[in-house]
Amino acid sequence: MNVTDRAYALELDKNDPLAHFKAQFVVADPNICYLDGNSLGRMPVATVGAITEFLTQEWASELVTGWGHWIDEAQPTGDLLGASCLGAGPGQVLVCDTTSVNFYQLCLAAIHARPGRKTIITDAANFPTDRYILDGIAKQFGLKLVIIDNEDPAIATNERITTDVLAPYLSDDVALVTLEVIQYRSGARSDIKAITDQVRAVGGLVVWDASHAVGAIEMDLDANGADLCVGCTYKYGNSGPGAPAWLYVSKRIQGELQVPIQGWFAQEAQFEMGPVFEKASGIRGFQIATPPIMGMRSVKTAFTMIANAGIADIAKKSAVGTQMMIDLYDAWLAPLGIELHTPRNPAERGGHVSLVHPDAAQICVALRKISNVIPDFRAPNSIRLAISPLPTSYVEVWDGFDRLRDLVASGRYKQIQEGGSRVT
Amino acid sequence: MNVTDRAYALELDKNDPLAHFKAQFVVADPNICYLDGNSLGRMPVATVGAITEFLTQEWASELVTGWGHWIDEAQPTGDLLGASCLGAGPGQVLVCDTTSVNFYQLCLAAIHARPGRKTIITDAANFPTDRYILDGIAKQFGLKLVIIDNEDPAIATNERITTDVLAPYLSDDVALVTLEVIQYRSGARSDIKAITDQVRAVGGLVVWDASHAVGAIEMDLDANGADLCVGCTYKYGNSGPGAPAWLYVSKRIQGELQVPIQGWFAQEAQFEMGPVFEKASGIRGFQIATPPIMGMRSVKTAFTMIANAGIADIAKKSAVGTQMMIDLYDAWLAPLGIELHTPRNPAERGGHVSLVHPDAAQICVALRKISNVIPDFRAPNSIRLAISPLPTSYVEVWDGFDRLRDLVASGRYKQIQEGGSRVT
């Protein structure tokens, strides 16, 4: 069967072991093609019940005594997330704060653990919050921030950082290398093990940002020897807008790291409230403050679904779904002058692809307004389209691409004015 | 009428302009005396509806397009909180992150704004997370952390920091002084204006932690010339366990401060995602990352009630309620060997009082288990008891004190074993 036949996608759905999960999400408009689950995931049906039950049966009823069981909730929720998505054994993951705060914490902990070294390395295509935070760290501590210009195709293909790309920048002055597991724009995936080993060989540490990877691919952080990783929960994690993020610190190095914000949740004898800070052993030594319990329950609900589905099948659907996108791109979109900026090797990508066109911003607005397809636009010229393995069907992706083809081929997107929102 | 007559409290309730607010909270057990609203406030009835509506009508329905109106929600929610509780004009408050993270951000921003100065001052009775975070900052930047020993009655009365207490520690080496508006243990209140002026006179900045004050007293931050303040929302703010916290930065100094965690929400042209960090003008320049929208709605619901009630009446009820506690203490508890560690001048306290007894930990457990009174224990020997002006009636406080008297006078609390939870 040809990928350009809609039956192709229907057949994939028929054989999809994850197909039944779609019914576990609220789908308000069945005609929408929601291809932006890599930005904000859909809401699980179970979330409303979990939150309402927490509010009425716990907060309102237990009042302050609820802290007896809420207090350490960042840890079991972290263990659930680690086991379901990260390949992380227990005691290494906390669900807490935002990706940005966790990123700052682990980057600076890594830098302080390599005293005397003055170089931080990241890449130009990295997500802005990571780049801006590193800039702030470098300014505060007089460090040198080296930015690999992987937006230059002469330096990297599809922004992808490989050991070959990274090698020329490494030296014994490097304290920290920090990269996205999957690039937010191009969708290119780096090799966690190869790069971690390479940086470790020069004595540096790597902080991985897995925001665009978690819930879409297998990361095997323990098996790959990762030291430090952060990410969010509201993309493929389906935990809701601004839900708490997470951090991973390998047991191997928990003892040697000290985060810069040493809050009271990291205090060994927390409720003695004594005069001297003594870092708690284990992963609690990396927690700052009171966990947001409503958010925790949203994360728990969504990642329980991921655990039930199994990350291996999820990763497989990401690969098959993005392959279908690329095949449809070749058949329909390449002839229209659209470029593909995502690797064709499924091991080198995740759950989204990036299509580049000079009118990308206008096309994205038109997709929403005319075609009932939700993509997102990323400056300067990318259309991002994703398959989120649990809530998205193959035919939803197929229909979205069909509508995109029609919109661009007909030129109808040019009727639409851009913008109106500061969010893209 | 005598305070030891229950009718005294009933009369106060009868004349209480805020009495009708109690019905706007969920009260699962009408027999409980919940005197711990200074630790975790009760749940407003409206919260469940607000959260459920957000989940079903916004997240599930609007999906990623919801960010068009969610994106800046930290600001109007901050304005609401600032207007209702802080005496803060618009554009100076964000609802975001945790108190600990906000405290770190503003303290370090203040320190960086006073280059060359090497001294930080705080007090021994300050909440532990503040002390531990300052210790971490001092270690990272080679600063001197001076801790006023206000647990020594020869230095301060009821831990209260006054200009006289502070004066000997000030010099032109002081970058930062940071204090609680209301001491978490003793309940003593400092004079915001006097201390801010005093520290400003030597060229330093003050960061106030108002966690135990917000929603209980009038702070008039603008009128008092405060520069920087942080606090939580889950105590007198009734926004739920781990609800997002807030920060206040006076417009006067927003331009000269740079927070250490410079995340993408502080970027002027946020969605251009450009290579160079350029701090946004205004209060957004102090925001790190994606706001937790569920938590925002919980804060909005609870602080709308506070706005409707009016902080002047709330503050008055705090003063009258704590006065009744002190009068009952004098009549009933002082003769039992319990000490009062809270100022008798209502202008020098907030919504809670601190009673000290060698068996405080055991008494607190017994109050919960035998008497259906919820206090909290603070190491080493404090029983904290609060009136939270919106959900607490005067008679609830009166009954709680009556039960406390009975428990201690009878010695029945000695039947109870302490603890079992790591939380107190």
pLDDT tens-digit readout, A100-154: 999 999 999 999 999 999 999 999 999 999 999 999 999 999 999 999 999 999 9
Test mutation, B102, B133, B236, chain A, max A CBs within 10 A: B133
Q: Check A261 against B51: CB less than 8 A apart.
A: no
The rounded distance, in Å, linking the Cα atoms of A145 and A310 is: 38
Min Cα distance A114 → chain B (Å) is 13
Q: Which residues contact B23 (CB under 8 A, 6 or more apart)?
A: none
Min Cα distance A2 → chain B (Å) is 32
Chain A residues whose CB is inside 8 A of the B137 CB are 260
- Residue of chain B minimizing CA distance to A53: B48
Closest CA to A239 of A99, A117, A124: A99
Closest CA to A227 of A88, A116, A100: A88
Q: Tokens 């509201």 appear where?
A: A234
Q: How confident is the model at residue A410, as a pLDDT?
A: 97
CB A360 within 8 A of CB A340: no
Q: Tokens 């205090």 appear where?
A: A267
Test mutation, A29, A34, A40, chain B, max B CBs within 10 A: A40
Q: Check A140 against B260: CB less than 8 A apart.
A: yes
Q: What is the CATH number of domain A6-44+312-415?
A: 3.90.1150.10
Test mutation, A145, A268, A272, A277, chain B, max B CBs within 10 A: A277
Q: How confident is the model at residue A417, as a pLDDT?
A: 80
Confidence of residue A422 (pLDDT cuts 50, 70, 90): confident
B191: left (phi over 0), alpha (psi -120 to 50) or beta: beta
pLDDT at B7 over 70: yes
The rounded distance, in Å, linking the Cα atoms of A169 and A165 is: 8
Element (H, E) at A401: helix A394-410
The rounded distance, in Å, linking the Cα atoms of B96 and B158 is: 32
Q: Check A60 against B52: CB less than 8 A apart.
A: no
Q: How confident is the model at residue A367, as a pLDDT?
A: 97
Burial zone of B115 (CB within 10 Å; 0-12 exposed, 13-18 middle, 19+ buried) = exposed
In this predicted complex, what is the ipTM?
Answer: 0.97
pLDDT at A421 over 80: no
pLDDT at A287 over 80: yes
Test mutation, A26, A29, A63, chain B, max B CBs within 10 A: A63
Between A59, A100, A263, which is nearest B132 by CB? Answer: A263
pLDDT at B420 over 80: no
Min Cα distance A392 → chain B (Å) is 13
- Residue of chain B minimizing CA distance to A64: B40
Beta-carbon pairs below 8 A across chains A and B: 267
Q: Check B264 against A132: CB less than 8 A apart.
A: yes
Between B43, B241, B271, which is nearest A422 by CB? Answer: B271
User: Packing angle between helix A360-369 and helix A394-410, nearest 10 degrees?
Assistant: 120
- Residue of chain B minimizing CA distance to A141: B141
Between A127, A290, A374, which is nearest B98 by CB? Answer: A290
Q: How confident is the model at residue A1, as a pLDDT?
A: 86
Phi then psi for residue B214, to 5 deg, are -65, 125
Please write the tens of the pLDDT for every residue from A227-264. 999 999 999 999 999 999 999 999 999 999 999 999 99
Q: How confident is the model at residue B424, as a pLDDT?
A: 73
The rounded distance, in Å, linking the Cα atoms of A265 and A271 is: 9
Between B47, B133, B265, which is nearest A262 by CB? Answer: B133
pLDDT at A217 over 70: yes
The rounded distance, in Å, linking the Cα atoms of A285 and A282 is: 6
Confidence of residue A20 (pLDDT cuts 50, 70, 90): very high
As a whole number, mean pLDDT of residues A19-46 equals 97
As a whole number, mean pLDDT of residues B229-257 equals 98
Closest CA to A401 of A338, A345, A344: A338
As a whole number, mean pLDDT of residues A288-312 equals 98
Between B52, B264, B298, which is nearest A52 by CB? Answer: B52
The residue ranges of every structural domain in chain A are 6-44+312-415, 71-309
Helix, strand or coil for residue A279? Answer: strand
Q: Check A424 against B271: CB less than 8 A apart.
A: yes
Between A26, A36, A368, which is nearest B60 by CB? Answer: A26
As a whole number, mean pLDDT of residues B350-378 equals 96
Q: Tokens 């020594």 appear where?
A: B152
Min Cα distance A424 → chain B (Å) is 7
pLDDT at B43 over 90: yes
Q: Check A241 against B67: CB less than 8 A apart.
A: yes
Min Cα distance B258 → chain A (Å) is 9
Chain B residues whose CB is inside 8 A of the A381 CB are none
Q: How confident is the model at residue B386, as a pLDDT?
A: 98
- Residue of chain B minimizing CA distance to A97: B97
Between A43, A288, A374, which is nearest B98 by CB? Answer: A288
Q: Check A51 against B52: CB less than 8 A apart.
A: yes
Q: Which residues contact B209 (CB under 8 A, 6 or more apart)?
A: B99, B103, B126, B127, B130, B178, B179, B180, B181, B229, B230, B231
Q: What is the CATH number of domain A71-309?
A: 3.40.640.10
Confidence of residue A419 (pLDDT cuts 50, 70, 90): low
Q: How confident is the model at residue B419, as a pLDDT?
A: 62
The neighbouring-strand residues paired with A374 are A34
Q: How confident is the model at residue A424, as a pLDDT?
A: 73
Q: How confident is the model at residue B422, as a pLDDT?
A: 72
Q: What is the mean pLDDT of chain A?
A: 97
The rounded distance, in Å, linking the Cα atoms of A200 and A144 is: 19
- Residue of chain B minimizing CA distance to A133: B262
Q: Check B132 against A266: CB less than 8 A apart.
A: yes
Q: Check A34 against B63: CB less than 8 A apart.
A: yes
Closest CA to A144 of A167, A116, A164: A116
Q: Check A97 against B101: CB less than 8 A apart.
A: yes
Test mutation, B72, B127, B294, B422, chain A, max A CBs within 10 A: B294
Between A56, A65, A132, which is nearest B267 by CB? Answer: A132
CB A119 within 8 A of CB A111: no
Q: Check A290 against B60: CB less than 8 A apart.
A: no
A204: left (phi over 0), alpha (psi -120 to 50) or beta: beta
Q: How confident is the model at residue A305, as a pLDDT?
A: 98
As a whole number, mean pLDDT of residues B71-83 equals 98
The class level of CATH for B6-45+311-415 reads alpha beta
pLDDT at B51 over 70: yes
Q: How confident is the model at residue A420, as a pLDDT?
A: 62
CB A290 within 8 A of CB A280: no
Q: What percent of chain A has pLDDT over 90?
A: 97
- Residue of chain A minimizing CA distance to B98: A289
As a whole number, mean pLDDT of residues B301-311 equals 98
Q: What percent of chain B has pLDDT over 70?
A: 99
CB atoms within 10 A of CB B252: 12
As a whole number, mean pLDDT of residues B233-254 equals 98
Burial zone of A14 (CB within 10 Å; 0-12 exposed, 13-18 middle, 19+ buried) = exposed
Between B34, B55, B289, which is nearest A63 by CB? Answer: B34
Chain A residues whose CB is inside 8 A of the B270 CB are 128, 422
Q: Which residues contact A148 (CB under 8 A, 6 or more apart)?
A: A121, A122, A123, A124, A155, A156, A161, A165, A166, A169
